[in-house]
Structure 1
Amino acid sequence: MGNSSQHFGALLVCIATIAATGFCQAADSPGQTAAAIKRGEYLAVAADCGACHTVPRGKPFAGGLAISTPLGTIYSTNITLSADFGIGRYTEEEFSRALRRGVRRDGANLYPAMPYTSYAKFTDDDAHALYLYFTLAVKPVEQRSPQTQLPFPTSVRASMIGWNLLFLDTAAFVPDPHQSAEWNRGAYLAQGAAHCSTCHTPRGFLMQEDASRALSGAQVGAWYAPNITSDPISGIGSWTKADLVVYLRTGHLSGKAQAAGSMAEAVEDSFQHLAATDLDAIATYIKSIPAVSDPAVDTSRFTAGQMSSELGRLRGRAAIRSDSESAASGAELFRGNCTSCHSAEGQGSKDGYYPSLFWNSATGAKNATNLVATILYGVNRTTSGRQAFMPGFGGRTTDANALSDLNIAALGNYVLAQYGAADTIMTEQQVAEARRGGPSSPLLALARFGMIAVATLAFLGIALLIFLGRRRVA
Structure 2
Amino acid sequence: MTLKRLILSVIALAVIVFGLIVTGIWGPSGHNPAPEQQVQTTQTPPGMSRGEYVAKMSDCTACHTTEKDKPFAGGLGMPLPIGTLYSTNITPDKETGIGNYSLDDFKRVLREGVRKDGGHLYPAMPYTEYTKLSDNDIAAMYDYFMNSVQPVKQANRPNDIPALLSMRWPLAIWNWMFHEQGAYQTQQDKGAEWNRGAYLVQGSTHCGTCHTPRGVAMQTTANDETETGFLSGADLAGWHAFNISNDNANGLGDWSNDEIVQYLKTGSVAGKAQAAGPMAEAVENSFRFLTDDDLNAIAVYLRSVPAVSEGSTSRYAQGEAVAQDLQLRGLPIETTREEMPGEYLYMANCSTCHDADGSGSPDGYYPSVYHNSVVGSEKSGNLIQVVLHGVKRDTNDGEVFMPAFGQHLSDDQIATLVNFLTDTYGQGNAQVEPQDVAELRATAE
Q: 1:350 aligns with which of 362, 365, 384?
A: 362
Question: Do the aligned partners of 2:111 and 2:182 also contact (CA within 8 Å) in 1?
Answer: no
Q: 2:199 aligns with which of 188, 191, 197?
A: 188
Equivalence map 1:312-461=2 (5 Å): 312-319=326-333, 329-395=341-407, 402-437=408-443
Q: 2:247 aligns with which of 207, 231, 235?
A: 231
- What is the Cα deviation at residue 144 of structure 1? 1.6
3-state SS, counterpart of residue 436 of structure 1 = helix
Question: Do the aligned partners of 2:390 and 2:403 also contact (CA within 8 Å) in 1?
Answer: yes
Question: Do the aligned partners of 1:101 and 1:120 also contact (CA within 8 Å) in 2?
Answer: yes
- What is the Cα deviation at residue 174 of structure 1? 0.2
Q: Which residue of 2 aligns with 1:163?
A: 174
**TM-score, normalized by length of structure 2?**
0.84
Q: Which amino acid aligns with 2:413?
A: N
- What is the Cα deviation at residue 157 of structure 1? 2.0
- What is the Cα deviation at residue 77 of structure 1? 0.7
Q: Which amino acid aligns with 1:218?
A: A
CA distance in 2, matches of 1:124, 1:143: 29
Change (3 A) 1:327 1:153: farther
Q: Which residue of 1 aligns with 2:238?
A: 222
Q: Which residue of 2 aligns with 1:4?
A: none
Q: Which residue of 2 aligns with 1:199?
A: 210
Q: Deviations over 1:169-202 (max 9, x none)?
A: 1021000000000000111011110000000001
CA distance in 1, matches of 2:339, 2:117: 57
Q: Which residue of 2 aligns with 1:252?
A: 268
CA distance in 1, matches of 2:354, 2:83: 36
Identical pairs, percent: 47
Q: CA RMSD in A?
A: 2.0
Residue ranges of structure 1 left out of the alignment (5+ in a row): 1-34, 396-401, 439-474
3-state SS, counterpart of residue 219 of structure 1 = strand
Change (3 A) 1:105 1:328: farther
Q: Which residue of 2 aligns with 1:21?
A: none
Q: Which residue of 2 aligns with 1:302?
A: 316
Q: Does 1:66 align with 2:82?
A: no
CA distance in 2, matches of 1:158, 1:147: 18
Equivalence map 1:26-175=2 (5 Å): 38-175=49-186
Q: Deviations over 1:104-138 (max 9, x none)?
A: 11211111111100001012222111111111111
CA distance in 2, matches of 1:41, 1:115: 18
Aligned positions, number: 393
Q: Which amino acid aligns with 2:363?
A: D
Change (3 A) 1:177 1:143: same
Q: 1:282 aligns with which of 298, 314, 320?
A: 298
Q: 2:308 aligns with which of 289, 292, 303?
A: 292
**TM-score, normalized by length of structure 1?**
0.79
Change (3 A) 1:234 1:152: farther
Residue ranges of structure 2 left out of the alignment (5+ in a row): 1-45, 223-227
Q: 1:208 aligns with which of 212, 219, 238?
A: 219
Structure 1 or 2, whichever has the larger Rg, is 1
Question: Do the aligned partners of 1:326 and 1:406 also contact (CA within 8 Å) in 2?
Answer: no
CA distance in 1, matches of 2:111, 2:435: 39
